[in-house]
Amino acid sequence: MAQDPDTHDGRCSCGFVRSRMASTPMIVHACHCTWCQRESGGPFVVNAVVEAARVTLLQGEVHLVVTPSASGRNQKIARCPRCQVALWSHYPNAGERICFVRVGALDAPARLPPDVHIFTSTRQAWLPLPPGVLAVPEFYDPAQVWSPDARARWRAALA
Protein backbone atom coordinates (compact mmCIF):
# COMPACT_ATOMS: atom_id res chain seq x y z
CA MET A 1 0.00 0.00 0.00
CA ALA A 2 1.36 3.41 -0.94
CA GLN A 3 2.13 5.55 2.07
CA ASP A 4 0.34 8.91 2.12
CA PRO A 5 2.85 11.40 3.57
CA ASP A 6 0.12 12.87 5.78
CA THR A 7 -1.11 9.52 7.09
CA HIS A 8 0.50 7.82 10.06
CA ASP A 9 -0.84 4.44 11.16
CA GLY A 10 -0.10 2.89 14.52
CA ARG A 11 -0.88 -0.09 16.66
CA CYS A 12 -0.65 -1.53 20.12
CA SER A 13 1.63 -4.45 20.91
CA CYS A 14 -1.02 -7.18 20.75
CA GLY A 15 -2.49 -5.84 17.52
CA PHE A 16 -6.06 -5.45 18.83
CA VAL A 17 -5.92 -1.68 18.26
CA ARG A 18 -4.95 -0.14 14.96
CA SER A 19 -5.02 3.64 14.76
CA ARG A 20 -4.62 6.24 12.04
CA MET A 21 -3.50 9.84 12.30
CA ALA A 22 -4.78 11.34 9.05
CA SER A 23 -2.93 14.68 9.17
CA THR A 24 0.57 15.88 9.69
CA PRO A 25 0.73 16.90 13.36
CA MET A 26 0.68 20.53 14.44
CA ILE A 27 3.94 19.95 16.27
CA VAL A 28 6.00 17.05 17.59
CA HIS A 29 7.35 17.26 21.15
CA ALA A 30 10.12 15.25 22.70
CA CYS A 31 9.26 15.57 26.39
CA HIS A 32 12.05 14.89 28.83
CA CYS A 33 9.99 15.50 31.99
CA THR A 34 10.23 13.01 34.83
CA TRP A 35 6.57 12.07 34.40
CA CYS A 36 7.11 11.01 30.78
CA GLN A 37 10.25 9.14 31.76
CA ARG A 38 8.33 7.17 34.39
CA GLU A 39 5.42 6.39 32.05
CA SER A 40 7.61 5.30 29.15
CA GLY A 41 10.49 3.71 31.01
CA GLY A 42 12.77 5.65 28.68
CA PRO A 43 14.61 8.98 28.68
CA PHE A 44 11.82 10.88 26.90
CA VAL A 45 8.51 10.50 25.08
CA VAL A 46 7.79 11.71 21.55
CA ASN A 47 4.27 13.09 21.18
CA ALA A 48 2.65 14.25 17.92
CA VAL A 49 0.04 16.92 18.69
CA VAL A 50 -2.97 16.60 16.37
CA GLU A 51 -6.69 17.27 16.28
CA ALA A 52 -8.63 14.35 17.78
CA ALA A 53 -10.92 14.54 14.74
CA ARG A 54 -7.93 13.46 12.65
CA VAL A 55 -7.29 10.34 14.74
CA THR A 56 -9.39 7.30 14.04
CA LEU A 57 -9.41 3.67 14.99
CA LEU A 58 -9.04 1.28 12.09
CA GLN A 59 -9.62 -1.63 14.41
CA GLY A 60 -10.40 -2.32 18.07
CA GLU A 61 -11.12 0.22 20.78
CA VAL A 62 -9.24 2.13 23.45
CA HIS A 63 -9.91 2.73 27.13
CA LEU A 64 -9.15 6.15 28.58
CA VAL A 65 -7.15 5.70 31.76
CA VAL A 66 -7.03 8.71 34.11
CA THR A 67 -3.38 9.14 35.05
CA PRO A 68 -1.78 11.65 37.42
CA SER A 69 0.19 14.39 35.69
CA ALA A 70 2.64 17.12 36.60
CA SER A 71 -0.10 19.77 36.52
CA GLY A 72 -2.09 17.99 39.21
CA ARG A 73 -5.04 17.97 36.80
CA ASN A 74 -4.43 14.47 35.41
CA GLN A 75 -4.22 13.30 31.85
CA LYS A 76 -6.23 10.61 30.07
CA ILE A 77 -4.18 7.96 28.33
CA ALA A 78 -5.85 5.96 25.55
CA ARG A 79 -4.73 2.38 26.01
CA CYS A 80 -5.48 -0.94 24.39
CA PRO A 81 -7.91 -2.73 26.73
CA ARG A 82 -6.04 -5.99 26.21
CA CYS A 83 -2.30 -5.27 26.25
CA GLN A 84 -2.56 -1.77 27.86
CA VAL A 85 -0.11 -0.15 25.48
CA ALA A 86 -0.67 3.61 25.19
CA LEU A 87 -1.70 5.04 21.80
CA TRP A 88 -2.29 8.69 22.75
CA SER A 89 -3.01 11.08 25.61
CA HIS A 90 -5.42 13.91 26.29
CA TYR A 91 -4.26 16.74 28.54
CA PRO A 92 -6.68 18.97 30.48
CA ASN A 93 -5.78 22.24 28.72
CA ALA A 94 -7.17 20.99 25.41
CA GLY A 95 -9.20 18.00 26.57
CA GLU A 96 -10.41 15.31 24.24
CA ARG A 97 -10.35 17.57 21.18
CA ILE A 98 -6.56 17.20 20.92
CA CYS A 99 -4.54 13.98 20.88
CA PHE A 100 -0.92 13.71 21.90
CA VAL A 101 -0.16 10.65 19.77
CA ARG A 102 2.65 8.41 21.01
CA VAL A 103 5.00 8.46 18.07
CA GLY A 104 6.68 5.29 19.28
CA ALA A 105 3.40 3.43 18.74
CA LEU A 106 3.27 4.39 15.07
CA ASP A 107 4.36 1.98 12.37
CA ALA A 108 7.02 4.42 11.10
CA PRO A 109 8.03 6.61 14.05
CA ALA A 110 11.14 7.92 12.31
CA ARG A 111 8.88 9.88 9.95
CA LEU A 112 8.04 12.27 12.80
CA PRO A 113 11.20 13.56 14.44
CA PRO A 114 10.71 16.09 17.25
CA ASP A 115 10.24 19.77 16.37
CA VAL A 116 11.17 20.81 19.90
CA HIS A 117 12.63 19.16 22.99
CA ILE A 118 10.84 20.25 26.18
CA PHE A 119 11.62 19.91 29.89
CA THR A 120 15.27 19.38 29.11
CA SER A 121 16.02 20.58 32.67
CA THR A 122 15.36 16.94 33.66
CA ARG A 123 16.92 15.40 30.57
CA GLN A 124 19.11 12.33 31.05
CA ALA A 125 22.57 13.60 30.24
CA TRP A 126 23.92 10.35 28.83
CA LEU A 127 21.96 10.90 25.62
CA PRO A 128 23.17 14.07 23.90
CA LEU A 129 20.71 16.09 21.83
CA PRO A 130 21.60 16.58 18.18
CA PRO A 131 23.35 19.91 17.58
CA GLY A 132 21.09 22.73 16.54
CA VAL A 133 17.78 21.27 17.71
CA LEU A 134 15.27 23.52 19.43
CA ALA A 135 15.32 22.69 23.15
CA VAL A 136 13.85 24.47 26.16
CA PRO A 137 14.34 23.83 29.90
CA GLU A 138 10.60 23.56 30.52
CA PHE A 139 7.98 24.80 28.07
CA TYR A 140 7.93 27.43 25.32
CA ASP A 141 5.81 30.25 23.96
CA PRO A 142 3.70 28.76 21.14
CA ALA A 143 3.70 32.13 19.37
CA GLN A 144 7.45 31.74 18.91
CA VAL A 145 7.57 28.05 18.01
CA TRP A 146 4.39 27.02 16.21
CA SER A 147 3.79 27.83 12.56
CA PRO A 148 0.90 30.21 11.86
CA ASP A 149 -0.93 27.35 10.16
CA ALA A 150 -0.52 25.10 13.18
CA ARG A 151 -1.73 27.84 15.54
CA ALA A 152 -4.81 28.35 13.36
CA ARG A 153 -5.50 24.60 13.44
CA TRP A 154 -5.22 24.57 17.25
CA ARG A 155 -7.64 27.49 17.59
CA ALA A 156 -10.08 25.85 15.18
CA ALA A 157 -9.91 22.56 17.04
CA LEU A 158 -10.77 24.24 20.33
CA ALA A 159 -13.40 26.63 18.96
Candidates 26-34, 104-112, 138-146, 147-155 — which segment interacts with Zn ion by CB under 5 A? 26-34
156 binds Zn ion (CB under 5 A): no
CB 24 within 8 A of CB 72: no
Binding to Zn ion in span 70-89, by CB under 5 A: 80, 82-83
Give which of 28, 23, 152 is closest to 100, Cα–Cα: 28
Candidates 16-24, 98-106, 123-131, 146-154 — which segment interacts with Zn ion by CB under 5 A? 16-24
Q: What is the CA radius of gyration of the chain?
A: 15
16 binds Zn ion (CB under 5 A): yes
Candidates 2-10, 33-41, 48-56, 130-138 — which segment interacts with Zn ion by CB under 5 A? 33-41
The nearest distance, CB 88 to Zn ion, in angstroms, is 14
- Could you give the angle at the alpha carbon of 117 between the alpha carbons of 63 and 158, nearest 5°? 50
Backbone φ and ψ of 143, nearest 5°: -65, -25
* 55/80 with CB nearer Zn ion: 80
Instruction: Please count the other Cβ atoms lying within 10 Å of the Cβ belonging to residue 14.
Output: 13
Contact footprint for Zn ion (CB under 5 A): 12, 14, 16, 31, 33, 36, 80, 82-83
